[in-house]
């Protein structure tokens, strides 16, 4: 079974960059996308195309048009879909979709960015705390697969220029690092880093300064799983050659099929 996660940085823009051709080639069992920047009506073309491949379709758009939002395409119909984390303050941005399957929960998340100059860092910290509480509640019922854009580079190996960015740039402040560390301490495993301990690989490159060509990147997109579920993980990949967004897709291969 294969699950792919991808921050598409606007699904309408990504479609113009051969998104549907890429999807037809990859054919994941489940595709989780973030930062869709669209409402449900904007997905009509995609839904028509996906109907050929028997995908079930779930979307959690932000109330603000052209901003944030998440979506999941799944060939396996879940027991139920949960939109948001049951918090009015945070759910208006459409950042989380949870699908419940018989043996696990799948959570697709687009974590808030602290912003240039860190104006949203305090908002981000509160969001991290509420989100972790949500994960802990679900984890008591079934193991979790959590994927998406976490907007944080966990360690020095996870970004090209750690010294230049530490405590200055969104995604690499000690507050964000500590909050991510709290998730790992709560019993969740970073699958890519656990399987590829010393591998330098990135999932995001700024559109500025020719960063992708120079490979000046960040690893801020993750697949985390509950510790007790890690035995079901076969491999965790970064699909860095896919260039239809400023992020690339990541893939989780499982030993099981639902």
CA distance 168 to 158: 16
Of 199, 198, 203, 200, the C-alpha closest to 223 is 203
CATH number at residue 149: 3.60.10.10
Longest dimension (CA), the chain: 48
Domain count, the chain: 1
Provide, rounded to the nearest whole percent, the portion of the chain with pLDDT above 70: 100
pLDDT at 258 over 80: no
Tell me, what DSSP letter sits at residue 109?
E
Going along the chain, which residue ranges are E strands? 2-7, 30-34, 56-60, 70-74, 80-83, 96-100, 105-110, 144-149, 188-190, 204-205, 217-218, 221-226, 233-238, 250-254
Q: Catalytic residue numbers?
A: 110, 149
pLDDT at 150 over 90: yes
Averaged over 101-127, what is the pLDDT?
Answer: 97
Residue 246 belongs to domain spanning: 2-254
Partners of residue 109 on adjacent β-strands = 96, 148
Averaged over 65-70, what is the pLDDT?
Answer: 95
Report the pLDDT value the prediction gives residue 53, as an integer from 0 to 100: 79
The pLDDT tens digits of the residues spanning 223-236 come to: 999 999 999 999 99
pTM above 0.85, yes or no: yes
Q: 3-state SS of 9-53?
A: CCHHHHHCCCHHHHHHHHCCCEEEEECCCCCHHHHHHHHHHHHHH
Report the pLDDT value the prediction gives residue 192, as an integer from 0 to 100: 98
- pLDDT averaged over every residue in the chain: 95
């Amino acid at each position: 079974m294969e699950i792919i996660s991808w921050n598409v940085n606007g699904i309408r823009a990504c479609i113009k960059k051969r998104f549907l051709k890429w999807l037809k080639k990859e054919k994941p069992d489940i595709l989780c996308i973030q930062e869709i920047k669209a409402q449900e009506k904007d997905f009509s073309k995609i839904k028509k195309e996906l109907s050929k491949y028997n995908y079930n379709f779930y979307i959690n758009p932000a109330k603000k048009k052209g901003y944030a939002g998440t979506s999941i395409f799944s060939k396996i119909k879940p027991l139920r879909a949960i939109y948001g984390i049951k918090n009015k303050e945070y759910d208006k941005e459409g950042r989380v979709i949870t699908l419940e399957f018989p043996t696990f929960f799948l959570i697709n998340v687009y974590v808030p960015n602290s912003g240039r100059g860190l104006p949203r860092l305090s908002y981000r910290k509160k969001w991290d705390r509420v989100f972790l509480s949500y994960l802990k509640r679900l984890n008591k019922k079934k193991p979790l697969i959590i994927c998406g854009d976490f907007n944080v580079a966990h360690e020095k190996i996870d970004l090209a220029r750690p010294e230049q960015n530490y405590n200055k740039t969104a995604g690499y402040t000690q507050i964000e690092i500590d909050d991510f560390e709290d998730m790992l301490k709560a019993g969740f495993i970073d699958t890519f880093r656990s399987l590829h301990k010393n591998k330098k690989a990135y999932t995001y490159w700024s559109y500025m300064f020719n960063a992708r060509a120079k490979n000046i990147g960040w690893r801020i997109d993750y697949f985390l799983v509950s510790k007790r579920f890690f035995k079901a993980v076969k491999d965790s990949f970064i699909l860095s050659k896919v260039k239809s967004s400023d992020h690339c897709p990541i893939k989780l291969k499982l030993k099981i099929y639902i």
